[in-house]
Amino acid sequence: MTELKDQRRFVTPHPGEDWPDIAARAFPGEAADAAIQKLKSWNLHLFARIPPGRLLGSDVIFVEPPRAGANDA
């Protein structure tokens, strides 16, 4: 039987939220610019769409970096 692994933490956007709102919710007390850059670097899949970076309510936004061994079977 396959054992379940811990998943990366993520959030989904609330109605009307943008990157600064997500950053403030995910990283309270952290400088907004630094938090936004973290989020953007961990969520490149959201920048492959047109227009880049637009958030949808169904988006999965990772709030932590990829975990070591994430590609291990």
In order of 1, 25, 67, the CA distances from 4 in angstroms are: 10, 28, 15
pLDDT in tens, 15-62: 999 999 999 999 999 999 999 999 999 999 998 888 888 899 999 999
Q: Where are the domains of the chain?
A: 10-62
- Burial class for 11, CB neighbours closer than 10 Å (0-12, 13-18, 19+): middle
Per-residue pLDDT, 71:
58
Segment (H or E) for 59: none
